[in-house]
Amino acid sequence: MIARTSVSSTKTCKVSLQEKKRSCLDPVGAGMPRHFRTVVALSAVFGLAACANNGGEAPIPGAQTTPIIGQPKAPSVGLVLPLSGRFGAVGQRMRDAAKLALSSSGAPALDVQDSNGVGGAAFAAQTALSHGDALLLGPLTSADTAAVAPVAAQAGKPVLAFTSDSTQARPGVWVMGLTPEQQVRRMVDAARATGRKRFAAFLPDNPLGHAMADGLKMACHDASLNEPQIVFHTSDAANIQEGLKGLSGIAARQPSAPVVPVVDGPSAIDPTAAGGASVSSPVAPGPVAPSATPSFAPPPFDALLLGDTGLELAQVISALQDDHIDASQVQIMGPALWKAFDTKLGALHGAWFAAPDARDRNGYIARYKAVYGQPPSPVTDFAYDAAALANVVARTGTVDSAALIRGNGFMGVDGLFRLRPDGHVSRNLAVFQIRQVGGSSIVVPASRDVALRPS
C-alpha cells in the first residue's frame, strides 16, 4: 500500500472562446499589482497536493512502503525551486515537504536544483536532466515554468509545475496549482444541478478576473449553455456602480410608480374663504394605500460570478444591494480566496465558493509537524503532493506521461484529482456557502468517487 500523501469608465465584454489568456497566476505573485498579489498568495493556500491513490482507494496517511524484493531501483526525480534570493525561504520549505514525501524506503532519490542560481530555472532543469532524472517537480512560477517546459520537452521528460497559471498547461507539463478555472467549473456544475441556466459575471479587470471569465465561458460552452455575459470593472466605485447597473438591467426592472388614490368628496379649497384660502374641510375617508415594498423583476441571469476581494468587494456588495440582486433570485458565486475572510461576508449569505476541504490536510499537517517541529505553510502542499505522486509512479520503473495519466486519478490531501493529457488537472472540490452570521459551511461535498470528468 502506498503511503497517503497530500497532492493539495465601464467595459462590457462577451469573452470569446478564442480569447487569449492573461497574466500569470503564481503562488508568490512576484512583481504583480496589489489585487493580484493577494490572489496568487491565497491561491497557494488552496493549492492542491496529492498523494497517490493506488487502485482507487485512499491510502493511509503516514504508512511506510516496503520495497518489493527484486524491484529495480526507482529513478531519481529532479526538484527545481528557488533556494536563494527573494523566494528562497519559500523554496526551502517546499524542498522539505518534497523530502518528507520521499522519505519512505525505496522512494526515488531527490535531485534538488536552485532555480535562482546562475542560468536560472532553465539551467537548473538542464542540470537535473543531465543527472538522469526521470521527472521534474517544479518550478514555482509561471515564468520559470515557461523556461523549463522546452528543456524538458527536448529531453522527453514530464514536468509537474507548481504554478497556478493554467496557460502553462500543455501535454507533458501539468499545472498542479488550484486554478480559477477549476473553481468556476465546480460551481457551474453545482449551480446547474439546482436548475441554474443563465450565467453572468461581474469581474475585476485583472488577471484573476480574466482567468475566471475564461473558466466560466468554457464551463458554459461544455455544458451547452448560452454564452455568459461578462462585464469587467475597474477599482473605481462609480465604475463598479455603473457596470453592474448595465449588467443587471436595473433600469428595465424598476417597479411601476405607485398610483395616488383619488378621493371623492368636497374640495379642500373653500371658495367662500377670503382669498380662497385652504381650510381643513372634512372629507370622506378614502382607502389607505398599502405600504408594501416594491417588487423588482429578477435580473437577466440566475447565477452571477464575482471575483473581488477587499475594498472592491465591499463596493460590489453595495452595488448588488442597490440593484436588488440577492440570493433569493440569483446564485452568487466567488473565488476560493473568500475562504480566508468568510467570517466578514455575512452580507453575501447564500453565496458560494469552491475550495478544497481543509480537513483532508490533517494527516499531512501532523506528519510535517512531527518532523520539522512546525506546521506546514499551505504553499508546501504543491511540493509534497507532486513528490508523492512521483514516488508512486517512479516505483513502477517507467516514468512518462502515460504513467501519470491514470484513469482513476490520485487521492490528494485536498481531494481526488486526475492529470489530463492536455496538461490540465481535474480536481474534486467542495462547494462552500456563506452563512448569514458569518463564516461558511460545505453544502456540496467534494466527491470521493474516482469517476472524474472526462478529458
* pLDDT tens column, 225-252: 999 999 999 999 999 999 999 999 999 8
Q: Is the pTM higher than 0.85?
A: no
Residues 26 and 143 in one domain: yes
Give me the pLDDT at residue 216, please. Answer: 98
Residues 19 and 33 in one domain: yes
Residues 142 and 234 in one domain: no
Give me the pLDDT at residue 181, please. Answer: 94
**Residue type, position 57, single letter:** E
Q: Which domain holds residue 106?
A: 11-179+358-429
355, 430 contact by CB (below 8 A): yes
Confidence class for position 11, pLDDT limits 50, 70, 90: very low
309, 403 contact by CB (below 8 A): no
Residues 86 and 203 in one domain: no
Q: Count how many domains the chain has.
A: 2
Question: 173 in helix, strand or coil?
Answer: strand
Residues 197 and 306 in one domain: yes
* Each residue's pLDDT tens digit, 289-313: 444 456 889 999 999 999 999 999 9
* Each residue's pLDDT tens digit, 389-438: 999 888 888 888 888 997 788 887 777 888 999 999 888 899 999 999 87
Residues 389 and 424 in one domain: yes
Give me the pLDDT at residue 448, please. Answer: 66
Residues 193 and 324 in one domain: yes
- Give the mean pLDDT of the chain: 80
Residues 362 and 420 in one domain: yes
Write out the three cell numbers for 270: 373653500
Residues 135 and 146 in one domain: yes
In a domain, 4, yes or no: no
Residues 243 and 96 in one domain: no
211, 181 contact by CB (below 8 A): yes
Confidence class for position 328, pLDDT limits 50, 70, 90: confident
What mean pLDDT comes out for the span 29-36? 40
In a domain, 22, yes or no: yes
Residue 20 vs residue 222, higher pLDDT? 222
Where residue 195 sits, what CATH number does that domain have? 3.40.50.2300
**Strands 415-419 and 331-334, sheet pairing:** unpaired
Residues 56 and 167 in one domain: yes
Say how far apart CA 163 and CA 140 lie, in whole Å.
6
Residues 347 and 370 in one domain: no
